[in-house]
Amino acid sequence: MLFALMIGAIVAYFTPAGSASSPEPVDLQVEIRGAIEGYFAALMTGEPDKVAATLAPEFQIMRTDGIAYDSKTLPTSILPIISEMPAIEKLTVTAKGEIAVATYFVNVDQTRDGVLVEAYAPRLSVFRKDGDGWLMVSHSNFAALEQ
């Protein structure tokens, strides 16, 4: 018992402050998965106001091809055509206060401006707590466009 306490104290002493010692609570994982699904559901409607409702005013997106949009230009851009809710896989969420960062893979059939988009690719999204929900602050889409 004493040995276990000593080991615990040593680990605590050498663990940097603020380092993640365990994954985020399951309920936060569920909330962020819901925010990601909400973003994709809004994209699927093709309606600019629904897309805009998921974005924070400071939002920015960067896609693999270097195209970037902000909260005003993404909703009115040529949105991807997505036929069904994508599968969100390998979701990892970290958070501090009102900010959550999610890395995940998306498996989705989509086209953008008539070009097929790579179906299985990683994403990185940052969210900010807004009341009872989460707004997307930034999004990186690493899916390549088919040549």
Task: Give the structural domain span for 122.
Answer: 24-141
In whole angstroms, give the CA distance from residue 32 to residue 68. Answer: 23
Confirm whether 5 is domain-assigned. no
The CATH number of the domain holding residue 132 is 3.10.450.50
Confirm whether 15 is domain-assigned. no
Strand partners of residue 39: none
For 63-78, the pLDDT digits (tens) are 988 999 999 999 999 9
- What is the pTM assigned to this prediction? 0.80
The number of folded domains in the chain is: 1
Confirm whether 7 is domain-assigned. no
Banded pLDDT at 24 (limits 50, 70, 90): low
Instruction: Please provide the DSSP assignment of 50-70 as one string.
Output: HHHTTEEEEEEEEETTS-EEE
